[in-house]
Amino acid sequence: MPKQVIYCENVATPRAPHCHATKIGGLVFVSGTTPFAKDRSISVGNFADQMRQTMANLSSILADSGSSLDKVVKVNVFLDRVSDFQEMNEIYKEFFGADPQTWPARTTVQARLPVKDFLLEIECVAEAI
């Protein structure tokens, strides 16, 4: 089964040398997704805006890959500040539902992110539709 490389028209082109996602064997592997808007603007210092933009980017990439947020089975969240963990969970509910028992498997870690103003980065694995 050949792999398919995905580049999403509605999301800023990655600055690093990678694609938005790779689809193979009924799964979509989404690369680390950031809070850049399509025009490469970013809401500096505002975690809530960055989280919502990152999730919107993730949703667009999944749609272009033939999937969606409700097909996500694993999420990795990288936070610049662990102090944003509670706010991240509150916003996460907007996208994955209010009941954490129904959320995809998730790992959340504090990490030094490659772009100074990024407060988070998210990657995921989803079923392809």
CATH of the domain at 86: 3.30.1330.40
Range of weakest confidence among 31-45, 77-91, 105-119: 31-45
pLDDT of 12 reads 85
Mean pLDDT of the chain: 93
How many domains is the chain partitioned into structurally? 1
pLDDT of 14 reads 73
Task: Look at residue 68 and tell me whether its pLDDT is greater than 80.
Answer: yes
pLDDT of 2 reads 87
SS3 of the chain: helix, strand, coil, percent, to 5:
30, 30, 40
Distance between CA atoms of 26 and 38, rounded to whole angstroms?
28
Contact between 30 and 58 (Cβ < 8 Å): yes
State the DSSP string of 49-102.
Answer: HHHHHHHHHHHHHHHHTT--GGGEEEEEEEES-GGGHHHHHHHHHHHH-S-GGG
More confident residue, 43 or 54: 54
Range of the domain at 70: 4-34+43-127
**pLDDT tens sequence across 73-91:** 999 999 999 999 999 999 9
For the question of whether the overall pTM of this predicted structure is more than 0.75, the answer is yes
pLDDT band at residue 18 under the 50/70/90 scheme: confident
- Closest of 64, 122, 116 to residue 95, by C-alpha: 122
